[in-house]
């Protein structure tokens, strides 16, 4: 029963007085879907409870990091022990080495890596590293792919091929993005023409292999192959943004999935975050030794961070990675996610609602479209009004998905068959008004 006073509304009104929009990251504000954000009081396993004490089945998992669920005992123990030893030192620790070794063992395309505190920081530095290592300026990115809020990457596509980006955020001078070329995702012809026009000037190409900021859109195998071939041919660096997909869609990350279809495939630089920090502020970027040795203090590309390699964050990340690499973990996670997605598709088909969905490992996405989109333009054809109705229908029934049309969802090792069944039941009821 809903309380007479909604504490979420009370907290939101209070938050708006001291925090812009009442939130510290825009999508949390529920602006896209309407209504009042849920203020989380605590979380455990596959659930969280809001300020009113209402429990929700959680399918955002802090936007991906909570692959084990909230409060996993082994992770809690590691974090508590580390916190007692000290919060931050500003000096090296053995655990930084252990975490780096663990990540490198899972993602062999990287021979060295640098730990940082956020995905934005990792992506920004990967771009700087690509430019420093090649001596070039231009960067290719793809419309609908999000690589953090660094100025050079906050751009949208211009009109036609080879039109350089315009800022999509106030406060970003046009000069900052003049070297960023934005192309259509999964468009092989446009990609080839871009390299034909600008190949000798391109420092790197940055891409989400599965675009989780378009909800869930895979790069096709052919598109991925051509990205690799063209970067190699023209001396540009292929940067794989695996902040979301890293150790989430597979133990070896998305690049291991594509390597099954493209023998020998690997990127030059990989950007990681979320899962490797287990919920703590931690990210990384890495690549071949020759590229990484361009970083200070060995090379001319500067990067630094007071909290980089934080001892509590590294403890959390290391404990998380050791759990997810246990035999059978990813098989079970993938099967559970697939069961959810197949169930959603079956319910939508029964209701006669246009619907498509996809998943890989513990990451999934769905669209109110009859077929899976391949690029941002197609994604934008999703019925936003009906999605908002569906979102609130699920929320009212205790299921929390991303409060935005263009965000992926995440299943954790803590979700049970009963959770999946409850979600499908809620989905069935929430679909009724959409028929």
Provide φ and ψ at 215, rounded to 5°: 90, -80
Q: Is 274 marked active-site?
A: yes
Give the span between the Cα atoms of 14 and 37, in whole angstroms: 13
**What b-and-e string marks burial along 155-176, b requiring 16 or more CB atoms within 10 Å of the CB?**
bebeeebeebbbbeeeebeeeb
Catalytic annotation present for 345: no
Distance CA 239, CA 256 (A): 15
Q: Which of 59, 240, 274, 419 is catalytic?
A: 274
The active-site residue, picked from 50, 56, 59, 241, is: 241
Q: Is 358 a catalytic site residue?
A: no
Distance (Å, rounded) from C-alpha 152 to C-alpha 176?
A: 6
What phi and psi, each to the nearest 5 degrees, are found at residue 373?
A: -70, 160
Rounded Cα–Cα distance for residues 159 and 174 (Å): 16
The residue to which tokens 């090649």 are assigned: 134
Q: What is the C-alpha end-to-end distance of the chain, expressed in Å?
A: 27
What is the rounded distance in angstroms from the CA atom of residue 354 to the CA atom of residue 30? 24
Angle at 104 between CA 102 and CA 105, to 5 degrees: 65
Lookup: tokens for 362 = 């513990």
56, 59, 146, 406: the active-site residue? 146
Both tokens assigned to 22 = 């009442």
Q: Which residues are catalytic?
A: 146, 241, 274
């Amino acid at each position: 029963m809903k309380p007479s006073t909604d504490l979420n509304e009370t907290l939101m009104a209070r938050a708006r007085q001291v925090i812009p929009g009442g939130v510290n990251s825009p999508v949390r504000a529920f602006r896209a879907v309407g209504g009042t954000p849920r203020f989380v009081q605590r979380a455990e396993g596959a659930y969280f409870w809001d300020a009113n004490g209402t429990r929700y089945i959680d399918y955002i998992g802090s936007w991906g990091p909570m692959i084990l669920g909230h409060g996993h005992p082994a992770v809690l123990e590691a974090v508590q022990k580390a916190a007692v030893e000290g919060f931050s030192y500003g000096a090296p620790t053995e655990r930084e080495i252990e975490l780096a070794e663990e990540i490198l063992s899972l993602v062999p395309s990287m021979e060295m890596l640098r730990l940082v505190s956020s995905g934005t920081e990792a992506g920004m530095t990967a771009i700087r590293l690509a430019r420093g290592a090649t001596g070039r300026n231009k960067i290719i990115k793809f419309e609908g792919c999000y690589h953090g809020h660094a100025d050079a990457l906050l751009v949208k596509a211009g009109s036609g091929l080879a039109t350089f980006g315009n800022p999509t955020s106030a406060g970003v001078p046009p000069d900052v993005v003049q070297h960023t070329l934005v192309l259509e995702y999964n468009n092989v012809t446009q990609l080839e023409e871009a390299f034909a026009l600008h190949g000798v000037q391109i420092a790197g190409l940055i891409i989400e292999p599965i675009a989780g900021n378009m909800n869930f859109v895979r790069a096709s195998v052919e598109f991925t192959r051509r990205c690799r071939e063209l970067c190699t041919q023209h001396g540009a660096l292929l940067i794989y943004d695996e902040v979301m997909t890293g150790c989430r869609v597979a133990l070896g990350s998305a690049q291991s999935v594509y390597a099954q279809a493209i023998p020998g495939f690997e990127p030059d630089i990989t950007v990681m975050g979320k899962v490797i920090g287990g919920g703590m502020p931690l990210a990384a970027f890495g690549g071949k030794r020759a590229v990484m040795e361009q970083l200070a203090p060995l090379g001319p590309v500067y990067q630094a961070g007071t909290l980089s390699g934080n001892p509590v964050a590294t403890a959390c990340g290391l404990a998380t990675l050791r759990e997810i690499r246990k035999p059978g973990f990813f098989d079970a996670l993938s099967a559970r996610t697939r069961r959810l997605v197949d169930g959603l598709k079956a319910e939508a088909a029964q209701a006669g609602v246009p619907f498509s969905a996809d998943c890989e490992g513990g990451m999934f996405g769905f669209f109110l479209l009859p077929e899976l989109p391949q690029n941002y333009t197609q994604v934008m054809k999703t019925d936003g009004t009906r999605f908002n109705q569906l979102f609130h229908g699920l929320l009212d029934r205790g299921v929390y998905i991303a409060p935005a049309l263009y965000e992926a969802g995440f299943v954790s090792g803590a979700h049970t068959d009963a959770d999946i069944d409850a979600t499908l039941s809620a989905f069935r009821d929430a679909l009724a008004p959409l028929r």
